[in-house]
Amino acid sequence: MRKSISLVILLIIVVAFAQAQVKSISQYIEQVKALSDRSDVKGANAYIDLNHQSILREWIAITEINAPSGQEQQRAKYIEGLLRQYRLDDIHYDSAGNLIAVRKGTGVGPVIVFDAHMDTVFQPGLQIKVTIRDGRVYAPGIGDDTRNVEALLATIRALNEAKIKTKGDLVFVFTVEEETTFKGVNTFVNQNKAKIDQYIALDGGYEGFTYAGIGINWYRYHFIGPGGHTRSRTPPYSATLPLARAIARIYELKVPASPSSNLNIGMLGGSEVVNAKASDAWFSVDLRSTSNEVIADLDKQIKTILDEEAARVGMKVKTDVISKSPAAAIPGHRESYLVRISEAVHRVMGFDPPITNAGSNNSSAALLAGISSISTGAGPCDGAHSLAENCEIEPLYKGIKKILLLEVALAGVE
């Protein structure tokens, strides 16, 4: 009897402990809601509401300074000038050229990084002039990623105006080379990973967020044959024949929808002239999946097809790896504190957030280093990486409030 009573007590303790550990999403929502009802957080939101025009002006001014990947210095100088006007604890550049600004907390909280990238995909010398019509703002780079650069600046001002003191440190990183080499984020993460608790990459996104990164492998495959004139003896064929056969077969491969995966052959080429058999026929492959196993399996099947088709016509295969970045996932991350809080923030802001594991931005570098990380953004935009890029203006102000709520929810407030 005694034994069974103590067993029951033990069971109750275990269940209670488990419940305390696994907070439900509604508890996170309550926690975030209470935070958003605080008068200082409301004050910060009021500041954002009162400053729509100056936020828009600054967003435009930053966008009009072109910042091709690797040539972000002029835009960085401008942002630095703004940061120097705020009460911040540290403003500096690191060895990669990232601009870093620290808003220290009381020292009893976590270190939370917010990242927005400064670089664009546009060529040096492009004259950028922003235009506004029908509630939208048009310019190359206005969305990717200038909307999020501006969102961070606006939240810093709003936090200061409302005299919000966080417990943890907020580290704002304006990164370089997101669009090309990821040199900015890789340098920052490598130099700071031991100190970072959570990493929020603001890039794209508005209503939802990602909590894992998709793996992306880019290749250029060549069939190398003897070539020849159109009228030379056949076979040998033009190297375009195994290329055509291989492409047809690769498109027959089963590419799973779950885990989310994609395969695209977007570029191809052969001889330079009509009257020659190609001695080098090539095509590109863009292979993506949230699972590294799926990528490895499709890689293997593609390799087999290429080898078989080359052997069939007595040719060789040459492979150029353009780039490779693995899928970035932390086991159980969907249930992590960061992801739960982020979901709660979105719900409190009135979003029904899509939460996906297929991000493709600076967040992956943090996840690969084992740092809990999400990516989201401050506003809805269209036409990223095109000259017709544009964003809705009005939602940005709500997006800025969302980022601010995320900042105080993660860093904690006094």
Interface positions with Zn ion (CB under 5 A): 144-145, 203
3-class SS of residue 261:
strand
DSSP 251: T
Phi, psi of 359, deg, nearest 5: -70, 155
CA 342 – CA 58 distance, rounded (Å): 27
Residue with tokens 């269209």: 382
- Sort 71 into a burial class: Cβ within 10 Å, 0-12 / 13-18 / 19+: middle
Least Cβ distance, residue 204 to Zn ion (angstroms): 6
The distance of closest approach from Cβ of residue 68 to Zn ion in the complex, given in angstroms and rounded to an integer, is 13
Would you say 109 or 377 has its CB closer to Zn ion?
377
Q: Is the peptide bond before 259 cis (omega within 30 degrees of 0)?
A: yes
Q: Toward Zn ion, which CB reaches closer, 146 or 155?
A: 146
User: Which residue number, 166 or 390, has a Cβ lying nearer to Zn ion?
Assistant: 390
CB of 23 to Zn ion, least distance (A): 32
To Zn ion, the closest distance from the beta carbon of 50 in angstroms equals 29
Residue (of 396, 407, 384) closest to 178 by Cα position? 384
Q: Which is nearer to Zn ion, 120 or 342 (CB)?
A: 120
Q: Closer to Zn ion by CB, 67 or 159: give it.
A: 67
Count other Cβ atoms within 10 Å, centred on residue 332.
Answer: 8
**CB closer to Zn ion out of 144 and 407:** 144
Closest separation in Å from C-beta 16 to Zn ion: 45
CB nearer Zn ion, residue 218 or residue 337: 218
Nearest approach in angstroms of CB 145 to Zn ion is 4
Q: Do residues 209 and 376 touch, judged by C-beta distance below 8 A?
A: yes
Of 320, 303, 317, nearest in space to 239 by CA = 317
Q: Per-residue DSSP letters for 163-206?
A: T--BSSEEEEEEES-TTTT-HHHHHHHHHHGGG-SEEEEE-S-S
Residue 357: CB minimum distance to Zn ion, A: 18
